[in-house]
């Protein structure tokens, strides 16, 4: 896979990825398209970190834009926040349950085991 940086604004580059062996003319045309789309994204208050060029028919090319921050949020941040929110809710429920001390301690230990399992993956 080859790549090159496309300068969209003085402060924004989009990494253009393309298959090895793709004709240079196609890569150049894709870079121009990426620059145009990148400018429009900036005008709309959005951005993209990378674009991937894929040949999907003999005469057609598809360019896919990726916002890396969004992907990291979906894959890592949101699940982590959801887990910690669930642990906090479990703590609150257990502490307000009126259960005997031994049951509360065991329940909290079980919740912490789940949290530790997640943190060590």
pLDDT, averaged across the chain: 85
Q: Does residue 22 contact residue 2 with C-beta atoms inside 8 Å? A: yes
Do residues 112 and 73 share a domain? yes
* For range 99-116, the mean pLDDT: 96
Do residues 59 and 75 share a domain? no
Do residues 96 and 115 share a domain? yes
Identity of the highest mean pLDDT range in 1-5, 50-54, 79-83, 97-101: 97-101
Do residues 62 and 92 share a domain? no
Do residues 109 and 61 share a domain? no
Q: Is the dihedral of CA 27, 33, 39, 42 positive or negative?
A: negative
pTM: 0.49
Task: Decide which of 112 and 62 is more confident.
Answer: 112
Lowest mean pLDDT among 8-12, 33-37, 66-70: 66-70
Q: Does residue 17 contact residue 50 with C-beta atoms inside 8 Å? A: yes
Do residues 110 and 81 share a domain? yes
CA dist., res. 110 & res. 121, Å (int): 17
Do residues 47 and 79 share a domain? no
Do residues 53 and 85 share a domain? no
Do residues 58 and 77 share a domain? no
Do residues 10 and 31 share a domain? yes
CA dist., res. 20 & res. 3, Å (int): 9
**pLDDT value at residue 68:** 65
Do residues 38 and 84 share a domain? no
Question: Above 80 in pLDDT, residue 111?
Answer: yes
Q: Please give the residue range of the domain that contains residue 105.
A: 69-119
Do residues 88 and 45 share a domain? no
Per residue in 72-89, pLDDT (tens digit) is 777 778 888 899 999 999
Count of structural domains, the chain: 2
Buried b / exposed e along 22-46 (16+ C-beta atoms within 10 A): beeeebeebbebbbebbeebeeeee
Per residue in 55-68, pLDDT (tens digit) is 766 667 777 776 66
């Amino acid at each position: 896979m080859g790549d090159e940086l496309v300068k969209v604004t003085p402060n924004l580059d989009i990494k253009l990825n393309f298959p090895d062996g793709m004709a240079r003319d196609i890569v150049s045309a894709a870079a121009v398209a990426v620059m145009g789309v990148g400018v429009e994204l900036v005008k709309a208050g959005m951005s993209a970190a990378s674009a991937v060029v894929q040949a999907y028919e003999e005469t057609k090319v598809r360019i896919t834009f990726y916002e890396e921050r969004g992907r990291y949020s979906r894959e890592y941040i949101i699940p982590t926040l959801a887990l910690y929110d669930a642990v906090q809710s479990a703590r609150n429920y257990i502490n307000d349950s009126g259960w005997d001390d031994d049951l509360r301690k065991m329940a909290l230990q079980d919740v912490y085991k789940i949290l530790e399992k997640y943190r060590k993956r």
